[in-house]
Amino acid sequence: MNREEYIKASVESFEAILREQLSRTDRMKEGAKPESLADKEVITVGLIDGDGIGPIIMKEAEGLLKKLLEKDLASGRIIIKKIEGLTLENRLALGRSVPSDVLEEIKSCDVLLKGPTATPKGGTMESANVTLRRELDLYANVRPVYVPEKDIDWTFFRENTEGEYVLGSRGVEVGEDMAVDFKVITDPGTERIARAAFEFAKNNGKTSVSIVTKANIMKKTDGKFSEVCHRVAADYPGIKAEDWYVDIMAANLVNPLIRSQFQVFVLPNLYGDIITDEAAEIQGGVGTAGSANTGDRYAMFEAIHGTAPRMIEDGLQDYVNPMSIFKASEMMLRHIGRQAEAERLKAVLDKAQGDDAPKVTGFREGATIGELVGYIFENL
C-alpha cells in the first residue's frame, strides 16, 4: 500500500474502535447490581494453573485451600473446579487468547484463583488476563502492600478494563516507519474504580486517596481520569483526595520520609501495573504480593508476578516463592465470606515472614518451596 492507503486503512480501524468503545461506554452506563457471595448456598471456585511456574505454585495453593475449606468442601457448600486449556500452547494452537470452551468453563464459576499466564511478544494475540478482565468485566484490580516495620499500609485500586491495555493489540502500523497505539478513558469506567477506592477508604478508616496520573501530559485521557475521581471524591467529604503525577509517585514510594503518609491509591491501568510492581518490591518482591480482580458478577485472584521462564530454564523450579498466590488465596477467602479461614491463613503467612521461617529467595542458597509450604502447614 502507498501512504494514502495506509492512512485510509488506519482511519477505518480507528473508527471501528471508537464505535466499539462508545458501545461499551453505553453498556457501563446501564450499570449492574453487585452480587454478594457470602450468603450463596454453593460457591464454585475455579483453579487455573497457567504457564511456567504457574502449575508449581497452584499445586500448593490448591492443597492449602483444600485444608482450609475442608468442611465446606465435604458439605458441598464449596466446589473446586480445575479448568484446563489456558496454556500458552493451547492458546497459540487455537489462535485465541482465551479459547471459547475455556471461557465457558470459567463463566460457570463464581471466583477464580489463577496462576500466571504467558503472553507472546509481538503479533496480535492479547494477554489472557486482558481478555478475562474484559469478558468478565473485572474492572477493579486491588493490590495491598503491607510492611508494618516500615509503617507501610497501602492499597492500590488499578483500573482494569481501559487505558492502554484494552486496545493494546489493536494499534496500527502506518507504513514501515510509524506505529500508533490507542488509550481510552471513559467517565463510567473511571467512576466505578474511583468509587471502589473511596468506598474502601470509608469502610476501612482511611483518610486519604491519592489519584495518580500524568494529566500534565496526557491532558484528555488522564485529565478526564483525575476530573472524574474528584467528582466522586465530593461524595466522601471526610476523605482527602490528592493528585500526584506517576513519576513523582514512583519516587515517593521509595522515600522513607514521606511514604508512610500514603494510604489508598487509584490509578489508570498502565500506571497501576507499574507502580504496584514497585510497591511489591518494597514489600519483598513481586513474589510476595497477591492481587484481586473484581467486578459486579465475577472475581479473579492471582499472583502479581509473571511465569518466570528463566527460573524454569535455570532449573530453579524447587525454589519458586508461592507467597503471592497464597496472599491472593487469602483475599479470595475474604471475598467469598470465609473470614475465619482468611484470618487463619493471614496469621500463618505473617508468621512465615518471621526470622525463624524458611526464606525462599528464588535461588539455591535459599529455602525450597517445599520447605516453606511444610512450615506453613505445620503452623496452620
**Average of per-residue pLDDT across 206-212:** 98
Q: How many CB atoms lie within 10 A of CB 112?
A: 23
The Cα–Cα gap between 180 and 174 comes to 8
Q: Which CATH superfamily is domain 1-30+139-282 in?
A: Isopropylmalate Dehydrogenase (3.40.718.10)
Q: Which amino acid is at 64?
A: L
CATH code matching the domain that covers 33-138+295-380, chosen among 3.30.450.80, 3.40.718.10, 1.10.645.10, 3.40.1390.10: 3.40.718.10
Confidence (pLDDT) at 259: 97
Q: Which DSSP string corresponds to 54-97?
A: HHHHHHHHHHHHHHHTHHHHHHTSEEEEEE---SHHHHHHHT-S
Confidence (pLDDT) at 264: 98
1-30+139-282 and 33-138+295-380: same fold?
A: yes
Assess contact for 126 and 95: CB atoms under 8 A.
Answer: no
For the ranges 36-40, 98-102, 176-180, 261-265, the lowest mean pLDDT is seen at 36-40
Ranges of each domain in the chain: 1-30+139-282, 33-138+295-380
H-helix or E-strand containing 310?
helix 309-313
Confidence (pLDDT) at 120: 82
Q: How many CB atoms lie within 10 A of CB 231?
A: 14
The Cα–Cα gap between 216 and 350 comes to 40
Confidence (pLDDT) at 33: 64
Assess contact for 137 and 323: CB atoms under 8 A.
Answer: no
**Average of per-residue pLDDT across 274-285:** 91
Cα torsion at 350, 354, 359, 361 (round to 10°)?
70
Q: Which cell numbers in the block locate residue 154? A: 497501602
Assess contact for 44 and 110: CB atoms under 8 A.
Answer: yes
pLDDT digits (tens, 9 = 90+) for 16-41: 999 999 998 998 888 666 667 767 89
Assess contact for 139 and 177: CB atoms under 8 A.
Answer: no
Confidence (pLDDT) at 304: 79
For the ranges 51-60, 76-85, 142-151, 165-174, the lowest mean pLDDT is seen at 165-174
Full strand arrangement of the beta sheet holding 111-114:
78-83, 43-48, 111-114, 299-303, 290-294, 140-147, 152-159, 264-267, 208-213, 240-245
Mean pLDDT for the chain overall: 93
pLDDT band at 63 (very low <50, low <70, confident <90, very high): very high
pLDDT band at 95 (very low <50, low <70, confident <90, very high): very high
pLDDT band at 305 (very low <50, low <70, confident <90, very high): confident
pTM over 0.95: no
pLDDT digits (tens, 9 = 90+) for 309-347: 999 999 999 999 999 999 999 999 999 999 999 999 999
